[in-house]
């Protein structure tokens, strides 16, 4: 059996609008080792959330998975029957969605929504489901869970609603948790509490985690591995220590350079020039080439995601034999030579 609980290869998910194909996820490959946390980072529109929704087959029309493989515990999910996916969702794989206020049903109490997971996946009745719901709310740190279980989402604060979402996601003790921006719109104190909660529950239950975020600080604190996405593609996959100490792809270098640092003197932040291209105006070659300070003629062709000597992956011509240093700028180990 594979050491990875989730193994995605060449995943392609498109949206078909007015006769045009918008490639939201275009050949994504990454793995999630058992018991570990993978962070997926990138700017808005890079395909992070669509990749996660594809895993659970939650892509609605006009979207469609058009190719690739999604293997969960060696089981292929792209061809799984609807009944099998219903059993997997919330039971073996759970997801914390971005907006807790819109993800929770406003006309049902917290208890009713938690009990539904126990009823569907474990066949529990109302009494036992309520008991387990109260226990789960207590586990995620919600005060007076006996009272909260009968309240509606609008009666809770943003932080408490997010904790409810975590409680719902972990109700059936899933083997894989996908957390899509779990700390968005929360203040710094609550963010730290939520991340610590997920980390503690991961250790207690032994689950694997996919952490989708644009916050590299969250990645540094919580993740073992990182997949950097840009325009629907993974441009770098590395263990978290390597990524922060020796980023390879120019986009990863740009992301890290644009962050404030407390361990070095910084006169000013270095932004990434330009903008993310529109989905229907993607460059034919390297997606990052129009914004890359090291782009050369060969970047008009699309590089493959290639494994380096240390086992990490990068999608950049700089790290291939085809790269001509005299026609561009060559970057190795964060040192630039012309």
219 to 165, 213, 243, 332: CA distances (angstroms): 20, 8, 10, 23
100-154: pLDDT as tens digits: 667 889 999 999 999 988 888 888 899 999 999 999 898 888 899 999 999 999 9
Q: Is residue 264 pLDDT above 90, yes or no?
A: no
Q: Which has the closest alpha carbon to 292: 330, 259, 251, 252? A: 251
| N residues, the chain | 338
Number of Cβ within 10 Å of residue 216's Cβ equals 21
> Which among 233, 214, 312 has a CA at the least distance from the CA of 272?
214
Neighbours of 148 (CB within 10 A): 22
pLDDT at 261 over 60: yes
Q: What is the pLDDT of residues 158-195, one digit of tens each?
A: 888 888 988 888 888 899 999 998 877 677 887 888 88
Asked whether the whole model's pTM tops 0.85, one would answer yes
So where are the chain's domains? Answer: 102-171, 247-337
Arithmetic mean of pLDDT, 257-284:
80
331 — pLDDT class (breaks 50, 70, 90): very low
Angle of helix 158-170 relative to helix 126-139, nearest 10 degrees, comes to 120
Q: What percent of the chain has pLDDT over 90?
A: 57
């Amino acid at each position: 059996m594979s050491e990875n609980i989730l193994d995605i290869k060449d995943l392609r998910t498109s949206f078909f609008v007015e006769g045009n194909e918008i490639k939201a996820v275009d050949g994504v490959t990454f793995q999630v080792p058992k018991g570990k946390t993978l962070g997926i980072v990138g700017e808005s529109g890079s395909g992070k959330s669509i990749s996660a929704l594809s895993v659970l087959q939650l892509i609605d029309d006009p979207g469609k998975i058009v190719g690739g493989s999604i293997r969960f515990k060696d089981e292929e999910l792209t061809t799984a029957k609807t009944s099998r996916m219903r059993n997997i969702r919330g039971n073996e794989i759970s997801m914390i969605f971005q907006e807790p206020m819109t993800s929770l049903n406003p006309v049902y109490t917290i208890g009713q929504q938690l009990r539904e997971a126990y009823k569907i996946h474990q066949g529990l009745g109302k009494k036992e489901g309520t008991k387990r719901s109260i226990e789960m709310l207590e586990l995620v740190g919600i005060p007076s869970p006996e009272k909260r279980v009968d309240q509606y989402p609008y009666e809770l604060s943003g932080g408490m609603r997010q904790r409810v979402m975590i409680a719902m996601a972990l109700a059936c003790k899933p083997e894989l948790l996908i957390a899509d921006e779990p700390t968005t719109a929360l203040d710094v104190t609550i963010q730290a509490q939520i991340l610590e909660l997920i980390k503690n529950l991961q250790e207690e239950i032994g689950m694997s985690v996919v952490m989708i975020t644009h916050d590299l600080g969250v990645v540094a604190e919580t993740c073992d591995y990182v997949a950097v996405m840009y325009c629907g593609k993974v441009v770098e996959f590395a263990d978290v220590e390597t990524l922060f100490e020796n980023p390879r792809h120019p986009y990863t270098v740009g992301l890290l350079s644009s962050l404030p640092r407390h361990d070095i003197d910084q006169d000013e932040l270095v932004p990434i020039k330009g903008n993310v291209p529109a989905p229907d105006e993607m460059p034919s070659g390297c997606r990052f080439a129009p914004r890359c300070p090291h782009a050369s003629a060969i970047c008009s062709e699309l590089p493959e995601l290639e494994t380096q000597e240390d086992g990490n992956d990068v999608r950049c011509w700089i790290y291939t034999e085809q790269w001509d240093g005299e026609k561009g700028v060559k970057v190795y180990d964060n040192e630039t030579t012309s």
